[in-house]
């Protein structure tokens, strides 16, 4: 174990609420640290999005000691602490299951076998995510040699990658994404194991693949991550349609050209319809431009693209509908005179269409509209914005009323994984927006700015 008295961390960047939770648990005699992605980000000079906490205190003890703390999960019990509009996950140190645990009738249900900080660190995925930081005593605790890897900017698996990737194949996508997000080099042994075990991704559940795909699309240069996925033979087990696309040099060049050119169209990275729309629209445009493409790839309604959206990307029904309708509406956006001849009710109906804003984003990104046409649609939207947003609010309320109630004591993360216990992979930011099926548009601003 290595303990550094003065790690190069910026304490001013540590959230005051997270600091207070750690301090309160330590004051009650429980070893408690900040852990995972927040420590990693502080060490590389980035501002963390989340502050996760690991402690020796068990969930009921945390609940008693910390104000506004709620125990969640069943197979993986942890505590969610709420502060203003923030929330902090407080997890008890855990260890691997031992042979004697299997036959012991008193073994806790699920992934709730608690352990020491060192045992907990060994269970995590990559060395750069296995560091603990004590903000009260200003100490960095490194059981996995993660600090040298951060200094060398290397992504290395804790333990044998051939074993750890088989435990959870999603680590293949997570590792590749992290390397591109942080600008790290993947350690050769891990890189080889990712290639060897890429086929295991077919056995992973679609919602977890969807989450990683969305995070890849949120990278600064997602095309580089997708290309490395292709080069390593990973993409054919995650998005096989895109893999087939990239195998042809002409299609690959056209796709990358459109994909990079359309990247500015994603104005809101929490809007999953925009993110998926960007990817699929780029593929459609490349299909239209490539002379060797079969006609079955030219239409969003074709089974190839329907399967891409449904079975490979894991798009929700409302996202598929919005994208399909956007493609249908595209030709009408240049026909502003036809829109002017419509009555206000029909104009409102068109602009309330689920695919209208996405179609307008596509049209502007693809230079299908002139400046005057963009201004026309912005003004039309502004004129009807009150009615449009009122309709969206009604639809959102109705959708919430139709949602089934969740079972008490359920664990959302377990549900997304088909009932399996989630591994401890404190890699970085948790994206709650991926799990919503509500319309992400919340502003009365015009959908596109002219010029």
Read off the CATH number of the domain in which 166 is found. Answer: 1.10.110.30
- Please confirm, yes or no, whether 151 is among the known catalytic residues: no
More confident: 299 or 251: 251
Specify if 409 maps to a domain: no
For the question of residue 50 being annotated catalytic, the response is: yes
Examine the residue annotation and report whether 366 is marked as an active-site residue of this protein.
Answer: no
Which one is catalytic: 50, 149, 411, 427?
A: 50
Give the pLDDT band of residue 409 (cuts 50, 70, 90).
Answer: very low
| pLDDT single digits (tens) 163-174 | 999 999 999 999
Distance between CA atoms of residues 434 and 404, nearest Å: 19
Q: Does residue 291 sit in the same domain as residue 348?
A: yes
255 & 395 share domain: yes
Catalytic residue among 41, 52, 271, 427: 52
CATH number of the domain encompassing residue 145: 3.30.460.10
Domain boundary residue, one of 226, 251, 286: 226
Are 173 and 198 in a shared domain? yes
CA distances from 168 to 124, 205, 354 (A): 11, 11, 37
Q: Is 417 inside a domain boundary?
A: no
Is residue 161 located within the same domain as residue 145? no
Q: Which of 97, 124, 152 corresponds to the end of one domain? A: 152
Q: Among residues 41, 111, 125, 425, which one is catalytic? A: 125
For residues 200 and 256, membership in a common domain is answered with no
What is the domain count for the chain? 3
If pLDDT is split at 50, 70 and 90, which confidence band does 47 have? confident
pLDDT in tens, 126-153: 999 999 999 999 899 999 999 999 999 9
On whether both 171 and 300 belong to a single domain, the answer is no
Residue 414 lies in a domain: no
For position 210, what pLDDT does the model report?
A: 97
Query: Taking a C-beta distance cutoff of 8 angstroms, is the pair 310, 206 a contact?
Result: no
> Has residue 257 been placed in a domain?
yes
Q: Looking at 164, 199, 226, which one is the last position of a domain?
A: 226
Q: Is residue 424 part of a domain?
A: no
What is this structure's pTM? 0.82
Query: What pLDDT was estimated at residue 395?
Result: 60
Host domain of residue 29: 1-152
Residue 416 maps to a domain: no
Q: Are residues 254 and 389 in the same domain?
A: yes
3-state helix, strand, coil in the chain (%, to 5): 55, 10, 35
CA dihedral 259, 243, 175, 228 (to 10 degrees): -70
More confident residue, 237 or 335: 237
Confidence of residue 437 (pLDDT cuts 50, 70, 90): very low
């Amino acid at each position: 174990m290595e303990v550094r008295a003065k790690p190069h961390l910026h304490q001013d960047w540590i959230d005051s609420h997270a600091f207070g939770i750690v301090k309160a648990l330590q004051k009650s005699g429980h070893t408690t640290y900040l852990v995972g992605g927040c420590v990693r980000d502080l060490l590389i000079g980035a501002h963390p999005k989340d502050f996760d906490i690991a402690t020796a205190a068990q969930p009921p003890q945390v609940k008693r000691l910390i104000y506004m703390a709620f125990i969640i999960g069943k197979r993986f019990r942890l505590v969610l602490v709420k502060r203003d509009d923030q929330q902090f996950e407080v997890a008890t140190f855990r260890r691997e299951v031992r042979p004697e645990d299997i036959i012991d009738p008193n073994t806790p249900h699920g992934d709730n076998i608690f352990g020491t900080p060192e045992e907990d660190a060994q269970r995590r995925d990559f060395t750069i995510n296995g560091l603990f930081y004590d903000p009260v005593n200003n100490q960095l605790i490194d059981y996995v040699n993660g600090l040298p890897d951060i200094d060398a900017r290397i992504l290395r698996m804790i333990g044998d990658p051939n074993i750890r990737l088989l435990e959870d194949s999603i680590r293949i996508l997570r590792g590749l994404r992290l390397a591109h997000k942080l600008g790290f080099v993947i350690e050769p042994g891990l890189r080889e194991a990712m290639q060897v075990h890429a086929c295991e991704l077919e056995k992973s559940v679609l919602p977890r693949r969807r989450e990683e795909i969305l995070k890849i699309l949120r990278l600064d240069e997602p095309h580089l991550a997708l290309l490395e996925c292709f080069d390593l033979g990973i993409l054919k087990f995650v998005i096989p349609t895109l893999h087939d696309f990239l195998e042809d040099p002409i299609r690959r060049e056209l796709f990358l050209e459109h994909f990079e050119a359309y990247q500015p169209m994603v104005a809101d990275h929490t809007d999953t319809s925009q993110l998926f729309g960007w990817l699929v629209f780029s593929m459609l445009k490349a299909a239209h431009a490539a002379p060797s493409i079969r006609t079955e790839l030219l239409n969003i309604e074709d089974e190839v693209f329907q399967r891409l959206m449904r079975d490979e990307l894991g798009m929700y029904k409302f996202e598929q509908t919005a994208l399909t309708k956007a493609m249908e509406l595209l030709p009408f956006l240049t026909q502003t005179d036809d829109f002017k001849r419509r009555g206000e009710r029909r104009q409102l109906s068109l602009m309330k269409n689920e695919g209208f804003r996405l179609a307008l984003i596509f049209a502007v990104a693809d230079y299908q509209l002139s400046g005057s046409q963009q201004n026309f649609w912005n003004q039309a939207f502004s004129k009807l914005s009150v009615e449009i947003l009122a309709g969206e609010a009604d639809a959102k309320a109705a959708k919430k009323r139709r949602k089934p109630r969740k079972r008490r004591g359920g664990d959302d993360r377990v549900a997304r994984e088909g009932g399996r216990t989630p591994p401890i992979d404190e890699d970085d930011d948790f994206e709650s927006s991926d799990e919503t099926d509500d319309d992400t548009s919340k502003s009365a601003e015009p959908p596109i700015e002219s010029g």
